[in-house]
Each structure stands twice: as C-alpha cells, then as structure tokens.
Amino acid sequence: MKIVVGLGNPGDRYAQTRHNIGWMVLDHLADIAGWSGKGRTRDASAVAMGRFRGLDLTIVKPLTFMNDSGLAVRKVLTREHAPLNDLLVVTDDFALPFGKLRFREAGSAGGHNGLRSIIGELRTEKFSRLRVGIGDPRRGAVDHVLSTFAADERQRLDELLDAAAEAVETWARDGTSRAANRWNTYTLRPADEDRLAPPGSVDGPPGADGVRRTRTGWRRVRTPEPEA
C-alpha cells in the first residue's frame, strides 16, 4: 500500500490558495480514480483508498492545519503499519517557479511548516516528497502562499494538476528515483497571452507603467534582476 499525503489547510478560505496545492493534487487524483465523495474522515485526516491502475493507493489530506500536519501523518502510518519508503508527501514550494515539479528522497523542511511538523513527529527527514512550484513571492512569503493563483497561472492549473497526478502515479509504480528522473525536468507550457485578462483588469497583466491590479489593490510588478 502506497500512502500519498497532500499538505493544505481545511476551510473554504484556504481552498484555492497556493499553500493548498498538495490538496488540489490529491483531489485531482481522486477525480481521475473515481474516488471523489467516497472518502472518510479518520485519524485527523480525510482519507480515500482503493485500487488505482493496478496500484494499492491511499490518499490523505491532514485536517490539522498545516503547522500540525505531522500528527496526522504519524497516525496514518501507524494505522497502516507502513514503512517510510511507502510514503510520499505532496507540498507547495515557492522556491520553485510556478509549474515546476521536484521529487526528493529526503531533505530539510526548507522553511515549510508542514514539512517541519512531519519531520518533528517522524523524527527523520528521510521520506519522499513531491514539491510543486507556486512561484517566487513578490511580497511577504505568508501573503504569497495564502494568496490565490494569478490569471495566467489559473489558465494552466488543470494542466499542472494533471502532470502532478501522473507524477504521483510514477512514484507509486517506479519509486522516487525514477520518478525524479522523469519529472524533475518537467516544464509547464507558457500562458496563452491572448487568453489573459487585459491590462487594468483584476489579475490582468501590468500596464505600461508596470502597475498591476489585484484583488487587494494596485501593485507595482518587480522587475527581475538580470542573471549573472
């Protein structure tokens, strides 16, 4: 039995935020598997399980809020008597550009409170994780991870969720190393400019003055520094 944990926060206010991309991946996988609405709540998590394309799979969304994710992970591993090499944690990462996927077999929390909680509860960093890029924060990190996706990102979000769900299947079938070889070079296609909102509209591109309108006000877009 392979166990996939998606990190996120419960509640409508967080449902479409960047920090909940782990939940979004699992919800998308549940849709593909035909498991939507068939899960149950136990051990501080929403859990669904079954046979998926020849794989025995359990998907877990901790309901403890992000900072206490480790409590739910420890409980599900104990219940299933599962070794750590059968665990994959799907999480957001603002150190990666939007749409990038990155498998790792172990590692530090990297400032992520959900991973920090899991490492603390399991007393080890040696578990696999799939990090999903949510883009570099142009303001404070907390504001960024709790914000919703921009128009150009929402345009491609389903495509990203498709890729991430397929990446999870690759991990469950072939292991972390092979999944990394296949998916760590994945690049999401660019946005279709003609489908974006016009300048001056909410979440549209910046105008000629470099100012962009968002749901919370007008913001000047930071010009990236040239690479060395």
28 is catalytic: no
Please name the amino acid found at residue 39. G
Q: Are strands 87-93 and 128-133 parallel, antiparallel or unpaired?
A: parallel
Q: Could you say which of 19, 28, 112, 144 is catalytic?
A: 19
Active site residues: 19
